[in-house]
Amino acid sequence: MNFAKGGLGWIEVVCGPMFSGKSEELIRRLRRAEIARQRVQIFKPGLDQRYSEDHIVSHSDLKIRSEAVKNASEVMARVDLRTEVIGIDEAQFLGMEMVDVAVRLGDMGKRVIIAGLDTDYLGRPFHPMPELLAIADEITKALAICVQCGNPAKHTQRLVASEDLIVVGAAGMYEARCRRCFEPDLASVKSTPASASKQTAQA
Ligand code: ADP
Ligand code: ZN
């Protein structure tokens, strides 16, 4: 919620694992800004083309139109000076420059709403999200539901063996897990054939 008056810039960050409702929350805030007749621009990284090149699409099928960008500098280059609200999804893919860009946009008086994964497939902080949380005016940490036990889930479980930081997920490649059910070793390429068949069974 932005209570700021007189064009004071404002940075909101929504973080959490996959399936925690980050995109839904981002879309909800942006729709409300549109209802308030504010000028809105929405960006997402071009590499995430799972559902649509020109829309952000939530796992629950909410959609909002967006522009695909390669990195944070391209966000800066594309922002129209008249834009009042800027939405950015999957910010963990836009590079460390995203931090400076967010601060610059905030200092220009824009409301900036950023969503992204706070941890990677091994549970490590996923840059630049920790830095974005530090420079934000307001933060929201969302949780998903653990698909194994129903507890609140803070982790994104990768179900395929790959040690690449970025493996853009189609359905069945990731799921939400709680702290207890999280198994970072499942994603290890060194996993045994026995654990590989376990992965297939769970996917
Ligand atoms: P995110 O952007 O964080 O990946 P989305 O906003 O795209 O999340 O999707 C959230 C929606 O995903 C939920 O409202 C729910 O309908 C659906 N969903 C599917 N699996 C889960 C899960 N394990 N936990 C919570 N929501 C889930
Ligand atoms: Zn669990």
Residue of minimum CA distance from atom 22 in ligand 1:
145
Average pLDDT over residues 174-186: 95
Q: Which atom of ligand 1 is nearest to the CA of 18?
A: 4
Using CA atoms, how far residue 15 sits from 137, 183, 185, 190, 195, in Å, is 14, 21, 23, 30, 30
Angle at 78 between CA 4 and CA 34, to 5 degrees: 45
Mutational pocket test of ligand 1: of 55, 56, 60, the residue with most ligand atoms within 8 Å of the beta carbon = 60
User: What pTM, to 2 d.p., does this model score?
Assistant: 0.90
Average pLDDT over residues 80-91: 97
Q: Which atom of ligand 1 is nearest to the CA of 176?
A: 23
Using CA atoms, how far residue 56 sits from 24, 63, 149, 200, in Å, is 9, 6, 29, 29
* Residue 170 pLDDT grade (very low, low, confident, very high; cuts 50, 70, 90): low
Q: Tell me which residues are annotated as active site.
A: 90
* Residue 7 pLDDT grade (very low, low, confident, very high; cuts 50, 70, 90): confident
Structural domains in the chain plus CATH codes: 10-142 (3.40.50.300)
Query: pLDDT of 98-115, one tens digit each?
Result: 999 999 999 999 999 999
Q: Which residues line ligand 1 (CB under 6 A)?
A: 16, 18-24, 58-60, 144-145, 147, 176
